[in-house]
């Protein structure tokens, strides 16, 4: 899909989920606190596969999931992500940090998690 088409689809998805995204507390303070608390996403079984990564990504709360997909998978700049989602930079940075931690935790092999 061309970049223009992807942008249209993403903006349509954001528009459809605006109320839900707002419920996800699109603020930097909220996601910094959530990152400090740690993820509540349940650990998955090894081995790592594309499907396992996809499932872990689907477990993320909506706001950090949108930020992660736009920034990491689609490669949008942080300023473009903030513009698309209509939130401040701090909220995006905090949600992105939360998503990295949550995904790492969700993808950690169960054996490593039990040793800690």
Total structural domains in the chain? Answer: 1
Tell me: the pLDDT tens digits for 34-80? 777 776 666 555 567 888 888 889 989 999 999 999 999 899 999 99
**Which three-class secondary structure state does DSSP give residue 40?**
coil
Q: Output the pLDDT for position 67.
A: 93
- pLDDT at residue 95 is higher than 50: yes
The average pLDDT across 9-38 equals 74
Structure tokens at 26: 């699109």
Question: Could you tell me the pLDDT band of residue 98, with boundaries at 50, 70 and 90?
Answer: very high
Residue environment code for 42-66, b if the CB has 16+ CB neighbours within 10 A, otherwise e:
ebbeeeeeeeeeeebbeebbebbbb
Q: Across residues 19-30, what is the average pLDDT?
A: 68
Parent domain of 66 = 3-115
């Amino acid at each position: 899909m061309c970049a223009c088409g992807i942008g249209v689809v993403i903006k349509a998805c954001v528009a459809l989920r605006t109320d839900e995204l707002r419920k996800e507390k699109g603020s930097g303070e909220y996601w910094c606190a959530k990152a400090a608390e740690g993820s509540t996403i349940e650990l998955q079984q090894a081995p790592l596969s594309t499907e396992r990564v996809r499932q872990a990504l689907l477990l993320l709360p909506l706001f950090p999931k949108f930020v992660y997909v736009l920034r990491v998978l689609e490669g949008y700049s942080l300023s473009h992500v903030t513009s698309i989602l209509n939130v401040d930079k701090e909220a995006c940075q905090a949600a992105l940090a939360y998503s990295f931690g949550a995904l790492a935790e969700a993808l950690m092999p169960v054996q490593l998690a039990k040793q800690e």
